[in-house]
Amino acid sequence: MGEHTCDRGAVVESEPDSRELLVGRGAELARLFRAVDSVAAEPVLMLVGEVGAGKSALLDQAALRAEAGGARVLRATGSESESSLAFSALHQLLRPVLAGVDGLPGRQRAALRDAFGEGSATSGPDLMLTGVAVLSLLSGLGDHHPVLVVLDDAQWFDRASLDALSFAARRLEGEPVTMLIGARDSDRVPGFDRHTPTLTLEPLDDAAANQLLDLRPKSPTGRIRARILEQAGGNPLALVELTRTASTQERAAGPPSTGPLPLPDRLERVFAARLDSLPASTARALLLLAAMDSADWTVAVSARLPCAEDAAWIPAEQAGLVRRTSRDVQFRHPLVRSAVYHAASSGARREAHLSLATMLRDEPDRSAWHRAAACPHPDAAVSAELERTAGRARRRGGHAAAARALQRAAELAPQREESARLLVEAAAAAVFTGDLAWVEELVAAVRTRTDDAALLASATVRAGRLAVLAGRHLRVFSRLADAAEELAVSQPAAGLELLAGAAVVRFYSGEDAQRHRIRDILRRLQANASHAGLRTWVRAVSEPFDDWAQLVSLLPQLAAEAEGRPERLTAVGIMAWLLDETPQAVRAFDEAFDRWELQGALPEGLGGAVAWAYVERGRWEQAREACARITAVGRATGLDHAVACAATVEATLLAFQGEVSSARTRAEEALALVDPLESRSVAVYAHRALGAAAAAEGAYGTAYGRLRMIFTADGAPVHYHASYPALADLAAAAVRCGRHEEAAAIVERSATALADNTSPRLRALISRARGLLADPEDAEPHFRAALADPGLEYWPFERAQTLLDLAEWLRRRRRIAEARGPLTEALEVFRRLDAHPWIERARAESRAAGLDVTDAAPDALAGLSPQQQQIVRLAARGLTNREIGEKLFLSPRTVSSHLYRCFPKLGVTARSQLRDLIEGTLATAAHQQ
């Protein structure tokens, strides 16, 4: 009777030509089959279970099912040692289809090649562009047949691969692509968050465990069976392996030991016991395979291990340690690899790693890690080799891989100061992973190795940069402020950088006491001409309306100094936005992004300012693009606060455009991601979005309630910057729900607090609020004041709202002819922005004023979602599906699907008609106005 045992799951012995059975996993297997049989099922499913639970066996069965149905199956298996090699898992997954990379658009093709170290990039590839390239490649494969992506042992995937794969995974809906992920713990797979559908493999129940034992040859009985069941605890691998061991023992030896070692240690002993009788050539080949620790057989070929057909593997296969095919040799389970590796002496392990380092000299990164593994003591040459590996990883966007290489290089550096320098560099790379605990661990290690003030300050700044983006703002502020204060005299530049981070935390938290602390520390930091930009940043971020005019006067010089330097231009843009110099902010952002596409880095502090500036400027499509980028990076790095910031912007846009249900969903998601008391800025933006959604439905009482929440009980702003722009909307809701007096008190309190030291934009919003709340005979001067500054056209939506308010007032005063001009201008803006609730209000008022407004033609896109409208407009401009997908982070198939659904709604049958449709819509609207 033949025997085939899959040690990675509950596959039992069977005749050689019969189908293997999985015991006790019928429900789980059925769910996996549903996933691979139907595109409309779950595009992504994570399979979670402990070692030996049967994840790999289930994934094998799903892959066989998919292949039998005509699907293309792509697989990658993680290994612990290769988690330090950037994009190694992605390369393993896509190697069979790399020819398809040539068919990708140029930028995507270059991004993937850079990621795989085949390009000429001098800086890391754009994380989102790499993710879009993966999505496009998988989607393109789906043009020919369904695609199943199987990611096994994903907890060992390198971070760069996970970032790209998780980016693609979130966009698989509607694609003929299914992704199955096997992992020991879903919390250990960055990028695949709690929203990823998860199937957990629980231990087998008693009935299934007994059934599995019954199917084994020489099924155990009596006390031995009871002991196996007790020790295995429902783990299928333990049941199989302990039964195999028991069946080979002499019965007189009694039942297996019941010692206190945990189950994995017992299994390692089980596997290690099989090594004793192996030939020397087999033992050496196994140790090399274990030391190599790669599921990618091409690496073994490069390392010149015996080929799969070599007789050296036969004894290992007969002992149940490896699985051979005509193509490769793999350990039957990670515990086998662990047992083989740890059963060898330390000298034998070092010799194996040195042999691999020599054989893999054409793969310098792998070679460097093997040399490091063979080092029992510090070694300057190996440390330098790892530092070079880190440089290559960083250029490819592998920040986690770079940080790990630098951390190991620091451990091998003979000199303490050199070790400290490398740890600072490791912390700088680790910042981009979003793992604050790791960064702080590296910084703590720096402190144990050096007293160098500059290095210590640099390490503290690295940790501070990431801490700024964490959610616990009150605790983080104290840490940053304390560090800035300590460095104020000895390292003023580092102290100022930390204070700049503290100012960002102050913005997020909105805590007023922090303003005074920042001001005190800033006074203590010696002024230096080279630090002017950072000092201005601290002031603009922490209290923009304290000395508004003077801060605004500094912006042109700062912009000139930042020319050609994208990071500094972005900082200038953020300051300009905070000071309500939105046109200058948008110019800075445009120039920065023309020169520098964000390359997988963290969202910069206050990165949401980019999206808000585009919203205010009336460039809503670009605002959505900015939100998509912030969301993608925030999710990849586990920074919920960044995701929440983007969600509030999206919620606001959705509300303005009448997508009320979606707006509420996004705003509530933002509130769920943060502590509103720690993140007042997010809470205020979310309540503003919810207020706008309620107003869009005409529920003005609800709208007022939401907007009232962004001011304290006595009428002060909850947030010193985010609350003020809502004053006019608060007033508009108040006059429609009978809360006139309360709203008027809040407006006047804010006007007094701001006095004359504020922006024309805020003065206009206050004037609009006063006009809405004034007695009818007194309202006109306030509306006229709100429209007086011609520069306010740079805030088109806010200006159009004021024009509509003035027109409504004029018509009610029977000054109908005067109302028509503001109405026409307001309606044009609302139509351009697709602000449907406002279009309806303006059209109703226009008809009441005697204007001939046709309902249908100007609203040709009204039945489309905001994303569909974006796609249609880009298609009308002549962009291809690939170009649109690259711009909006979608696959070409998703773009095509949206267009296919849009054509009937728009009454067109060809792409070429879209331009005429949109131009005709605008022309008709202009004519009817």
> What per-residue confidence (pLDDT) applies to 603?
47
Closest alpha carbon to 666 in 692, 683, 686, 684: 686
Please indicate whether residue 642 or residue 5 has the higher confidence score (pLDDT).
Answer: 642
pLDDT tens digits, 447-500: 999 988 888 888 888 777 777 776 677 888 888 888 888 888 888 888 898 898
DSSP bridge pairs for 331: 322
Please indicate whether residue 904 or residue 656 has the higher confidence score (pLDDT).
Answer: 656
In angstroms, the CA 896 to CA 143 distance is 12
Instruction: Output the average pLDDT for the chain.
Output: 85
Residues ≥6 apart with Cβ < 8 Å to 660? 654, 693, 696, 697
The answer to whether the CB of 571 falls within 8 A of the CB of 562 is yes
Please indicate whether residue 88 or residue 299 has the higher confidence score (pLDDT).
Answer: 88
The answer to whether the CB of 409 falls within 8 A of the CB of 441 is no
In angstroms, the CA 650 to CA 632 distance is 14
Averaged pLDDT for residues 680-701: 96
pLDDT tens digits, 804-828: 999 999 999 999 999 999 999 999 9
> What per-residue confidence (pLDDT) applies to 927?
44
What are the φ and ψ backbone dihedral angles of 575, each rounded to 5 degrees? -60, -45
> What per-residue confidence (pLDDT) applies to 7?
36
In angstroms, the CA 197 to CA 178 distance is 12
Sign of the dihedral defined by the CA atoms of residues 919, 921, 923, 926, in that order: negative
pLDDT tens digits, 369-406: 999 999 989 999 999 999 999 999 888 878 889 999 99
pLDDT tens digits, 856-884: 444 567 677 777 888 888 888 888 888 88
> What per-residue confidence (pLDDT) applies to 318?
87
> What per-residue confidence (pLDDT) applies to 223?
67
- Residue 319 pLDDT greater than 50, yes or no: yes
DSSP class of residue 344 equals: S
In angstroms, the CA 436 to CA 470 distance is 8
The answer to whether the CB of 551 falls within 8 A of the CB of 579 is yes
- Residue 324 pLDDT greater than 90, yes or no: no
DSSP bridge pairs for 76: 151
Confidence of residue 20 (pLDDT cuts 50, 70, 90): very low
pLDDT tens digits, 150-187: 999 999 999 889 989 998 998 888 889 999 999 987 66
Task: Give the pTM.
Answer: 0.75
For 38, 494, 518, 544, 589, the CA distances from 515, given in Å and listed in that order, are 56, 20, 5, 11, 27
